[in-house]
Amino acid sequence: EATIVTSDLELSSPDNYSLLNATNHTATLTTLAMDELAKENPKVTFIHNYPGVVKTGLLDKMFEDWRGAWKILGLLAQKVLLPLMSLFQISAEEAGERGLYAATSQKYSSGKSHRLDWNGENAKEIPQLDKYRAEGMPKKVWEHTVGVFERVASSG
């Protein structure tokens, strides 16, 4: 989680959109939405889990598909970058095991939103989340999310 653009939760303005902002928004909005859902559903536990970088094969496939002049970079990435990344990745099976543990462990109390790090421990709180919670952002984020779903459903 990190700082978000609270005035443009969808990052619809080109000035606000970047890969970094999209990444920050995805993580932070998920945590804030889960805070609100936990408040509304006190008998349910909500877990935002970060199991680490999971080896899914997606990057391998992406680099294989590069064509033309990009093909050389793709081959280089496959030979150098992917082996280096594998030192920091976990398997999909391990990610699944971590998720199953979080979903079934009594360690995480209901009626709360938990942020878990890659070890399955409660992640360190960051100041931005406290600030957003004090500003009522969990409720605003969830209302915005519901509004997006309603807009999409009515356009189909």
Q: State the DSSP code for 1.
A: -
Longest CA–CA span in the chain (Å) reads 55
- Helical H runs in 41-155? 58-65, 70-76, 82-86, 92-104, 127-134, 137-155
How much is the pTM?
Answer: 0.80
CA dihedral 27→40→106→119, nearest 10 degrees, is: 10
**Alpha-carbon distances of 12 from 6, 9, 22, rounded to whole Å:** 12, 8, 11
Predicted pLDDT of residue 53: 87
Predicted pLDDT of residue 3: 93
* 139 Cβ contact list (under 8 Å, min separation 6): 36
Instruction: Tell me the pLDDT of the chain (156 aa) as tens digits.
Output: 899 999 999 999 999 999 899 999 999 999 999 999 999 999 999 999 988 889 998 888 888 888 988 899 989 989 998 899 889 999 999 999 999 999 898 888 877 899 999 888 889 988 999 999 999 999 999 999 999 999 999 987
**Alpha-carbon distances of 133 from 8, 50, 73, rounded to whole Å:** 17, 21, 43
Predicted pLDDT of residue 120: 83
Predicted pLDDT of residue 59: 85
As a whole number of angstroms, the distance between CA 11 and CA 78 comes to: 32
Secondary structure (3-state) at 123: coil
